[in-house]
Amino acid sequence: MTGYYIIIIISMLVSWYVSWKLKSKFEHYSNVHLRNGLSGKEVAEKMLKDNGINDVQVISVPGQLTDHYNPADKTVNLSEGVYMQRNAAAAAVAAHECGHAVQHAVGYSMLQLRSKLVPVVQISSNLMQYVILAGLVIMASTRSFENPNGNTTVLAIGVIMFAFTTLFAFITLPVEYDASNRAMKWLKDTGTVTQEEFIGVKDSLKWAARTYVVAAIGSLAQLLYWGSLLLGGRRD
C-alpha cells in the first residue's frame, strides 16, 4: 500500500497548493473594483438576459467559493463573497456559473453526458472504498498455490466503480473550461469589464479550472494503482 499512500500525499499537497492559490487570486482580484459598479448578482442577471435565458434565478448561498449552477431548479447560486461584491473576482465567478446555465439552455453535449453519469457516480462514490477494501481482503485470503492471485472479482467491481468516478472527473474538465470560455467571451465582447479587469477575470478562472485538473489527475493516478493491483494480483 506504500504506492497508494504516496499518490494520496502528493495529490493532497498539489490540491492544497492550487486551492490556496485560487483563494489568494480571489482575494487579490476582489480589490480590483469594476468601473461599471455591477455586483456579481447583476453581472449574472445581465449575462443570462443577453443569452435569452429568462427562467433561471440568481440567488445567494452561504459560504466561500460555494458558487454553482443547479440545473434541477434552474438557479445560479452565488456565494456571499460574489453575490453583492462589485469586483473582477465576483464578475468572473458569476459569469462562469452563468456559463453553465447557457450550456444547459443550448444542450451542451458534455454537460448532458455528465448529468447522465451523476446517479451512477453518486452510488460509486459512496460504496467504492468499501468494495475495494473488501476486494483486497478477499483477494489476500483466497490465494493458494493453484491460484496465486486469489479471487479478484470483488476488487474488479470496486475498480470499475472507481473508473466511473474518474471518467466523471475528466468529463467535468471540458464542461468547466467551456463555461469559463463562454464567460470570458461575453464579459469581453459586451465590454462588461475593462481590459485591466479582464486580466483579473482570466487569471481567476484559470486557477479555478486547475482545481478540476488536479482532481482528475489524482483520480486517474489512484485508478491506475488499483488497476495494477487487480492485474498483478499483489500488493507492494
Q: Sheet holding 68-70: strands in order across?
A: 57-61, 75-79, 68-70
Selecting among 45, 97, 176, 197, the annotated active-site residue is: 97
C-alpha cell of residue 2: 506504500
C-alpha cell of residue 84: 453583492
Q: Nearest to residue 74, comparing CAs of 62, 61, 58, 63?
A: 58
β-pairing, 57-61 vs 75-79, is parallel
Cβ–Cβ under 8 Å, residues 65 and 85: no
Distance CA 113, CA 228 (A): 28
Distance CA 215, CA 222 (A): 11
Q: Nearest to residue 33, comparing CAs of 106, 68, 84?
A: 84
Q: Is 97 a catalytic residue?
A: yes
Question: Cell 473582477 maps to which residue?
Answer: 88
Distance between the two ends of the chain, CA-based, in angstroms?
6
DSSP 191: T
Q: How many helices (H) and strands (E) does the chain have?
A: 7, 3
Cβ–Cβ under 8 Å, residues 77 and 41: no
List, by residue number, the catalytic residues: 97
